[in-house]
Amino acid sequence: ALIITDECINCDVCEPECPNSAISQGEEIYVIDPNLCTECVGHYDEPQCQQVCPVDCIPLDPEHKESKEELQAKYLIISGQA
Ligand code: SF4
Ligand code: SF4
């Protein structure tokens, strides 16, 4: 999963781009639900939120490191295909 850092400027550009609805407005900044973020595996070649974020504040979450296979398995579960 990816994570949004406190450099987020609350621009709301990333939220509608997420194919898994993993991004929402948190108390202070936008947040990513690691249970829903597949790093866009299953949908796109590149993480869409990273592509659009104007301040580049969405790195990999070191607390939620996953292999492509794990991300693919998560995609199948949340999309109802597994
Ligand atoms: Fe959503 Fe993809 Fe960003 Fe994860 S990497 S939060 S799935 S847009
Ligand atoms: Fe925050 Fe970047 Fe999302 Fe804008 S695009 S809300 S700055 S994480």
Condensed to tens digits (0 to 9), the pLDDT of residues 38-49 reads: 999 999 999 999
CA of 79 to the centre of ligand 1 (A): 14
Q: What pLDDT is attached to residue 63?
A: 97
CA of 23 to the centre of ligand 2 (A): 10
For ligand 1, say whether the CB of 20 is within 6 Å of any of its atoms. yes
- Output the pTM of the full model: 0.96
For ligand 1, say whether the CB of 23 is within 6 Å of any of its atoms. yes
What is the helix (H) or strand (E) element at residue 50, kind and residue range?
helix 48-52
- Model-level ipTM above the cut of 0.95: yes
CA of 61 to the centre of ligand 2 (A): 15
d(C-alpha 75, C-alpha 14), whole Å: 19
Q: What pLDDT is attached to residue 82?
A: 85
Q: What pLDDT is attached to residue 16?
A: 98
In the chain, which stretches have pLDDT less than 70? none
Q: What pLDDT is attached to residue 50?
A: 98
| 23 backbone dihedrals φ, ψ, rounded to 5° | -105, 135
